[in-house]
Structure 1
Amino acid sequence: FHQIVVCVCVCVCVCTNCCFLVSVQHRDIALVLCSETFGERIYGLDGEEKWHADFRLKKGVMTLPQFADPGYYPEGAYETAVSEIEVCKSNLGTMLKAYKNPAEPKDAPQSAIYSKNRVELGSKNTLICYISGFYPARIGVSWTRNNVNVTSEASLSRYYITDDGTFNLVSALSFTPEEGDIYTCTVEHVALDRPQTKTWEVQVELPGVGASVFCGVGLAVGLLGVAVGTFFLVKGNNSSRVARTSTFSRNLNNLRGSY
């Protein structure tokens, strides 16, 4: 069960040097999400998170980038979030009884795995497992390297809610690529019939190989063209020489016959 409050505010900008008004719609989101063992309190704007309550660290966290104007949330926002989660869990118990434990809606996740940076053997990099479009929020993510479980080395982002109420999540694994290594990211979720596994294999394009092959083929074609041209040039010269010799012989015979 989750409670979502969505407010739409209209910002009106007045141009001092013109006679018209411009209205822009923004969507401000306040989210309270809870289960019997889980809770989230998030504030966002236009699909981007601004603040969330970190119940593990017991504090509120601003999540806007450093270059943005972070604004502020009043003192006591975290304590308010704790109270809201308690109310949410209480409401959850009441509604489960009232509706006789209705079936929970389910949306299966989609996942993709890719490297953060260009892959170079021996250079540290990060593998990203991007998981999107799932509901409810409970999800399991595990990693392997060459069939060895390395989940403890990976990190998980927070849950990011989307416009349709489903969630996105990012898991990251730092690694040093070695030729032949195979990595997997496996996702487990109640909406999946079986775990969903994506595989990523270290594949490094050798620098300059494509250009070298291209140049080699070009050189071979060029040399072949020169050889063919030389052949026809020599053949043409020989044919001209034979023709001139035949003409000279006929003229000489004609000259002899006239005497």
Structure 2
Amino acid sequence: PKIMLMRTLHMVLELGGFGFYYAQCISVVHEYVGIHGCSETDGEDMHGLDEEEMWHADFNQKRGVVTLPDFANPLEFPQYYETSVIEMTGCKSDEAFLSKVFKSPPPEMDAPHTSIYLKDDVELGVQNTLICHVTGFYPPSLSISWTVNNANVTEGISLSRYRPRADGSFNIFSTLKFTPAEGDIYSCTVNHIALQGQPQTKILDIDVALPSVGPAVFCGVGLTLGLLGVAAGTLLLIKGNNCN
């Protein structure tokens, strides 16, 4: 795409209520975040609270998706998807106009920061999950790939949606389900426009420390020598008594 329009709305909400335990008036501050953006071919419309996504428009499936857990009284977003479709039409019209006026200016960019870690402690032969966390990037468009022992992996992978941060940048998670084997090497590679053709790769070696046998061997040898010493001393004592 030549240009991407992105509008992020931050709004501080102050909700008043009564504390359940103390029956006193309390005030809770929350931050609403709305993201509306488009390019020539794509669109994004998301609503969130306190950096957690609540709802987004899925323009491929032509429906709105509530991403909050199923609470006793779930939130509803009536007519949100229909409104998103109208907004995307206007956004793409503005994008085409601004591309001509500004002749596709270079986009604002922030490079991502990538880390890789395990969900659980490693146990050989027991299924685990690797997590690749990418944060602090803008615009919200990148690719994540996995390898094991330098071979590309395509199964057992999941990818979260882009999640906004308070500073206007984004987070995303990719996970890989795997069964660890001693010596395996896993890598997560991230490619983003701000990296200028130099992808970030993070590597994790599966190295399970085996219990050391050294102390047990030394203790066994020491105990054996000690018993031999006791036996030799006893024998000499008996011989000495016989000589007397």
TM-score bracket relative to the smaller structure: 0.7 to 0.9
Report the counterpart of residue 42 of structure 2 in structure 1. 38
CA distance change for structure 1 residues 87 and 6 in 2, over 3 Å: closer, same or farther? Answer: same
Distance 1:112 1:118 in 2: 17
Match of 2:120 among 117, 120, 125: 117
Structure 1 distance, partners of 2:183, 2:23, is: 66
The letter for the 1-side match of 2:7 is Q
1:99 Cα shift? 3.0
1:47 deviates by 1.3
Percent of aligned positions with the same letter in both sequences?
A: 46
Indicate whether 1:26 and 2:26 are aligned.
no
* Change in 2 beyond 3 A, CA 1:178/1:19: closer
Select which of 155, 165, 173 maps to 2:176: 173
| Equivalent position to 1:48, from 47, 52, 57 | 52
Q: Is the 8 A contact 1:62 1:70 kept in 2?
A: no
2:46 counterpart letter in structure 1: I
Deviation readout 1:150-190 (Å, 9 max, x if unpaired): 14542211111111111111111111111111111111111
Scaled by the length of structure 2, what TM-score is found? 0.78
How far apart are residue 65 of structure 1 and its match? 2.5
| 1:7 aligned partner, one-letter code | M
Higher-helix-fraction structure: 1
What does 1:1-259 align with in structure 2 at a 5 Å threshold? 1-13=5-17, 22-67=26-71, 69-74=73-78, 76-151=79-154, 153-193=156-196, 194-206=198-210, 209=211
Question: How many angstroms apart in 2 are the aligned matches of 1:192 and 1:92?
Answer: 24
Taking structure 1 as the reference length, the TM-score comes to 0.74
- Relative to structure 1, the CA distance from residue 98 to residue 122 in structure 2 (aligned partners, 3 Å threshold; closer, same or farther) is same
Question: Against the structure 1 CA distance between its residues 44 and 69, is the aligned structure 2 distance closer, same or farther, given a 3 Å change threshold?
Answer: farther
Distance in 2 (CA, whole Å) between partners of 1:216 and 1:13 is 67
> Relative CO higher for 1 or 2, CA cutoff 8 Å, sep ≥ 6?
2
Q: CA deviation at 1:116?
A: 1.4
Cα separation, 2, equivalents of 1:140 and 1:68: 37
Cα separation, partners in 2 of 1:15 and 1:178, compared to 1, 3 Å = closer
Give the letter for the 1:33 counterpart: G
The AA in structure 1 aligned to 2:139 is P
CA contact (8 A) 2:55 2:64 kept: yes
Change in Cα spacing, 1:57 to 1:15, as seen in structure 2 (3 Å) is: closer
**How far did residue 123 of structure 1 move?**
1.1
Counterpart of 1:195, as a letter, is P
Q: CA RMSD in A?
A: 3.0
Aligned equivalents of 1:164, 1:128: Cα separation in 2: 23
CA contact under 8 A between 1:156 and 1:171: conserved in structure 2? yes
The ranges of structure 1 where at least 4 consecutive aligned residues each deviate by more than 4 angstroms after the TM superposition are: 18-21, 212-217
> Retained in 1: the 8 A contact 2:156–2:178?
no
Unmatched tracts of structure 2, length 5 or more: 231-244
Distance in 2 (CA, whole Å) between partners of 1:184 and 1:59 is: 35
Measured at CA, do residues 15 and 137 of structure 1 come closer, stay the same or move farther in structure 2, by a change above 3 Å? closer
> Which residue number corresponds to residue 247 of structure 1?
none
**Structure 1: unaligned runs, 5 residues or longer:** 231-259
**In 2, distance between residues paired with 1:81 and 1:152?**
33
